[in-house]
Amino acid sequence: MTDTLVPTKHAITRVRHEPRRRILTVQNVERITPQMARITLGGDLAGFNSASYDDHVKVFFPLPGRDAPTIPLPDAPEGAERSPGRDYTPRRYDAARNELVLDFALHDAGPATSWAVQAKAGQQLAVGGPRGSFVVPDDFDWYLFIGDETALPAIGRRLEELRAGARAIVVAAITGPEEKQKFTSRAQVETIWVERPLSRAEDPAPLLNAARALTLPKTGDGYAWAAGESQTAKLLRRHLLDERGLDKAFVKAAGYWKRGAVSIHETHND
C-alpha cells in the first residue's frame, strides 16, 4: 500500500511492506574504516524490499555461545529466550546477486558491536523488515544531509542514488580523519567532516555549529535530512525550520540512538 504524504511536484510517499523475518548468512566482512564494518549477507532474501535510503531493518544477533539467532514464535511463553535486536539501515540491496549489505558503526559495547567485530563468513543473523519506506523523489534541486556515524549508511546510499545534476551537501560527525568515507555519486557533492572525540558524541554543538555555518543554496527547492543522536537530530530540525526557514514538509529528522536507551528509532515531526 502507498500513501501520498506531500501532494506537490515533490510527491513524498509512504510505502508499506509485508513484515517478515529471515535467517541470513554472512558472505563477506570488510572494514571500510577502522570503526565501520561492512557486512554482506545472503540467503533467504526473496521478496525483500527496501524502497528508501533511510529504511531500517531489525537485526537479531546470536546469544553468547550460539552460532545462530534465537527468534521465539509469536505465541512463545513469556520469558522465552530471545536474541537481542537492533535497528540498521540497508546500505545496499542487490536482488540479482541476492545480497543485503549492512554497515556497523563499531563504537558501543552492546551486542551489535560485539558481534560485528568478530563476524566471519558463514555466521548467521536474523533480519526483520523493513515494515515500510518513506520515499522522497529525486526531483529536488539540492539536498542537505546531516548526521553522525550512525547516519552514514543512509547518507552513502542516498548519494549513490541521486541523479546527475543535483547538488548535495553532507555534514558528518566522525571521531577523526581515519573515519572519512569515500562516497560515490552522480550528483555534485560537498562533504564537511566534523571531527570530535567519541566522548562528545552526545553533544549537539559540533553538528549544530557546523549547520549554522553553512551557506545553503539561495535558489531551487531543497530537501533536508538529519539523523543520529536523538536530541541532536531534534535540535538540527528546529534550526532548519526556525533559523533557516525551510519548508516543514521537506525537512526530516530521526533519532537513531540515545544514551541509556536500547534499539530506539524516534522520528521528530515537531
Q: What's the predicted TM-score (pTM) here? A: 0.93
φ, ψ (nearest 5 deg) of residue 230: -60, -50
Where is pLDDT greater, at 67 or 133? 133
Q: Is the pLDDT of residue 79 over 80?
A: no
pLDDT value at residue 148: 98
CA distance 28 to 128: 20
| Mean pLDDT value across residues 257-270 | 75
Under DSSP, is residue 191 helix (H, G, I), strand (E, B) or coil?
strand
Single-letter residue type at 119 = A
How is the beta sheet containing 132-135 ordered, strand by strand?
A: 2-6, 12-16, 132-135
- What is the edge-to-edge ordering of all strands in the sheet holding 167-174? 188-195, 167-174, 142-147, 222-229, 251-257, 266-268
Q: Is the pLDDT of residue 8 over 80?
A: no
pLDDT tens-digit series, residues 89-99 = 999 999 999 99
What is the tens place of the pLDDT at every residue in 31-69?
999 999 999 999 999 999 999 999 999 999 998 888 789
